[in-house]
Amino acid sequence: MSFEVYDYRTTNRNVLITPEIRARLYHMKPGQVDGRHSHDLGHEVFLILEGQAEFNINGVKKVLGPGQMCIALADEIHQVRNMLPDKETVMYLSVTPHIHPTHTRRRDDDSKAPPHFSPNANYHAEDDLSVPVETLIDRFVEATQMVAEAAAASATVQAEMAAKLKAARTSGDTDAATAARNTMWEAVYQLHKALYAADQIWNEFTPRAVEG
């Protein structure tokens, strides 16, 4: 299988939208100022490719140019301003994870505004409108049950393997310790797969949840 190559000079959109990460090549218009917001769950990474932008993160302002990067951690209030009055500023940004409502708008006093679930089209993702919202809700409930089952199974494995790992460490048996750790990882892996699957359905239905 091949893979797609993106050119930041001609691409101005989200290029990857999954629960694990949303990645975007972003062209800010001359003088553009984005709204103040934070992300309840996600860390956001910014890398300037062309131009110059001012980042205000939790009240601290810094101007970045090409090749410079900064990070807004989860719950950190941030705002971005294109410092160029006559040119675009181009950047790569990513939010990890990408779980709706993803953007939490902030009032002037820094308090959180009510959750706002933007349409997936705003992130250059398409919804399958042929699937009724009620069906998506049912799928989400089923997915959360799968998460609960995976969590319970993982908890059982971790308790069993933790005892074996401690015993192996005490006896100096590195092979047994490695085997126990690998078994623990497999259970963690399955749990996260179930959680990401539930997150995907959540992202599909919540922007449409109040449709008539």
Tell which residue, 45, 87, 107, has the closest CA to residue 70: 45
Structure tokens at 152: 């319970």
Which amino acid makes up residue 92?
A: Y
Cα distance between residue 53 and residue 118, in whole Å: 25
**For residues 200 and 21, is the Cβ–Cβ distance under 8 A?**
no
- Tens digits of pLDDT across the chain (212 residues): 799 999 999 999 999 999 999 999 999 999 999 999 999 999 999 999 999 999 999 999 999 999 999 999 999 999 999 999 999 999 999 999 999 999 999 999 999 999 999 999 999 998 899 999 999 999 999 999 999 999 999 999 999 999 999 999 999 999 999 999 999 999 999 999 999 999 999 999 999 999 75
DSSP three-state, residue 196? helix
* pTM for the model: 0.93
